[in-house]
Amino acid sequence: NAGVMQNPRHLVRRRGQEARLRCSPMKGHSHVYWYRQLPEEGLKFMVYLQKENIIDESGMPKERFSAEFPKEGPSILRIQQVVRGDSAAYFCASSPPTSYYEQYFGPGTRLTVT
Amino acid sequence: AQSVTQLDSQVPVFEEAPVELRCNYSSSVSVYLFWYVQYPNQGLQLLLKYLSGSTLVKGINGFEAEFNKSQTSFHLRKPSVHISDTAEYFCAVSSNTNAGKSTFGDGTTLTVKP
């Protein structure tokens, strides 16, 4: 059973470009969560999604950030017009439908904005 | 609201010595508690979890933790550490009322010296 998959593992973008981060949950998992880890800090919750629904986006910055989890395909975290402060590791986690608190993490995407 | 405080940002210890990584939480409702380990440039791996039942929880790699409701603590212990235990350790809390939103501490860096 493959774990949570994220790609790319490393992403370099220039200021003003767009970043797209992908997450494929574990088989059988229908809940996806995105977290951001700034250097020297813990993980901060960004958004919680189920298929075609955003359940909780209270941790998402109000501008430039969006997330989706379509009926088919991976979840996407999209950052428009990236700035240097967006440089961080972005982790995706997934959980089964009956125990959403048991989250399994992917390896992360490390975004560097130059 | 829920929060997590990891009381030590860095814990140096000699190989084969015991170690305790401290975690306190605050929450107004019943909680689920987790410890994760993160090796450099990797994702988070679940060490152990407390959902209900016995307050002493055993995890992987010889780690265990004890849930203490009166002290709102969930300290992680290992009786004898190895060099390979050198990593960042995160305590996290979740609950039924904050479905999907895990709150993480800022992490404790465990460094095992020969």
Asked if A48 lies within 8 A of B100 by C-beta distance, the reply is yes
CA A56 to chain CA centroid, Å, is 13
Which value, in Å, is the radius of gyration of the alpha carbons in chain A? 13
Backbone angles phi, psi at A103, to 5 degrees: -100, 135
Kindly determine whether residue A105 and residue B90, on different chains, have CB atoms separated by under 8 Å.
no
Check residue A1 and give its pLDDT.
53
Closest Cβ opposite residue B104 in set A42, A101, A108: A42
pLDDT recorded at residue B1: 79
Torsion, Cα A68 A69 A73 A76, to 10 degrees, reads 40
CA distance B78 to chain A (A): 22
When the pLDDT of each residue in chain A is averaged and rounded to a whole number, the result is: 92
C-alpha distances in angstroms, B51 versus A60, A101, B43, B48? 27, 9, 22, 10
* Residue B30: Cβ within 10 Å count: 11
**Highest averaged pLDDT of the listed ranges A32-46, B62-76, B87-101:** B62-76
Q: What is the pLDDT of residue A69?
A: 96
Rounded to whole angstroms, the Cα distance separating A38 from A91 reads 11
CA dihedral B92, B95, B97, B102 (to 10 degrees): 20
User: Considering chain B, what percentage of its residues have pLDDT values greater than 90?
Assistant: 74
Using a CB-CB cut-off of 8 Å, the residues of chain A touching B10 are: none
| More confident call, A98 vs B107 | B107
- pLDDT band of B41, cuts 50, 70, 90: confident
Q: Which helix (H) or strand (E) holds B41?
A: none
Average pLDDT, chain B: 92
B42-85 residue pLDDT tens: 888 999 999 888 899 999 999 999 999 999 999 999 999 999 99
| Contact list, B44 vs chain A (CB under 8 Å) | 43, 91, 105
Give yes or no for residue B99 having a pLDDT over 70. no
Phi-psi region of A98 (alpha: psi -120 to 50; beta: other; left: phi over 0): alpha
Q: Are A74 and A22 in contact (CB under 8 A)?
A: yes
Calculate the dihedral angle through the C-alpha atoms of A56, B35, B33, A36, rounding to the nearest 10 degrees: -20
As a whole number of angstroms, the distance between CA A97 and CA A50 comes to 9
Q: What is the pLDDT of residue A100?
A: 73
Q: Which of A49, A98, A101 to mutate to test the interface with B (most CBs of B within 10 A)?
A: A101
List, for residues A78-99, the tens digit of each pLDDT value. Answer: 999 999 999 999 999 999 888 7
